[in-house]
């Protein structure tokens, strides 16, 4: 294993990039009739945001928790909040969200 020196860690910390992580939560409305159409439009909007480069990573969560998904945004906190507030499923009370400021390590990516 390659040795990770203090100098290397200090250098890498200077190269981190800021991101905003959004955690999407299901509400009790998730099982109401007609919700699937609203969630479909939520998905369409995610594709548009990805195409625009504002939503970099979308990870739906497929377990029994109240978490529905995680998104990583290239936008700042205020813009991310505006984006999330305009989501059709958030507007209809099907999802709520929380936002967290984060950073990535240099070279991070999904494989």
Is residue 2 domain-resident? no
Is residue 18 domain-resident? no
Is residue 29 domain-resident? no
- Max Cα–Cα distance, the chain, nearest Å: 57
Is residue 4 domain-resident? no
Task: Please give the residue range of the domain that contains residue 80.
Answer: 34-104
Q: What is the pLDDT of residue 1?
A: 87
Query: Is the C-alpha dihedral spanning 72, 77, 79, 84 positive or negative?
Result: positive
Q: State the total domains in the chain.
A: 1
Q: For 14-45, how does the pLDDT look when each residue is reduced to its tens digit (9 = 90+)?
A: 999 999 999 999 999 999 999 999 999 999 99
Is residue 3 domain-resident? no
Is residue 25 domain-resident? no
Q: Is the pTM of this model over 0.85?
A: yes
Q: Could you count the other beta carbons within 10 Å of the beta carbon of residue 37?
A: 10
Q: What is the pLDDT of residue 110?
A: 80
Is residue 45 domain-resident? yes
Q: Which helix (H) or strand (E) holds 25?
A: strand 17-26
Is residue 84 domain-resident? yes
Residues of the chain falling short of pLDDT 50: none
Yes or no: say if 16 and 103 are a contact pair by the CB < 8 Å rule.
yes
Q: What is the pLDDT of residue 62?
A: 95
């Amino acid at each position: 294993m390659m040795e990770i020196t203090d100098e290397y860690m200090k250098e890498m910390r200077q190269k981190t990039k800021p991101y905003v992580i959004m955690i999407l939560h299901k509400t009790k409305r998730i099982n109401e009739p007609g919700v699937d159409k609203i969630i479909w439009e939520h998905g369409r909007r995610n594709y548009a945001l990805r195409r625009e480069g504002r939503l970099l990573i979308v990870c739906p969560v497929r377990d029994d928790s109240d978490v529905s998904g995680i998104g990583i945004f290239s936008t700042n906190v205020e813009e991310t909040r505006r984006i999330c507030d305009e989501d059709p499923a958030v507007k209809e009370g099907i999802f709520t969200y929380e936002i967290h400021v984060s950073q990535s390590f240099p070279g991070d990516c999904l494989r």
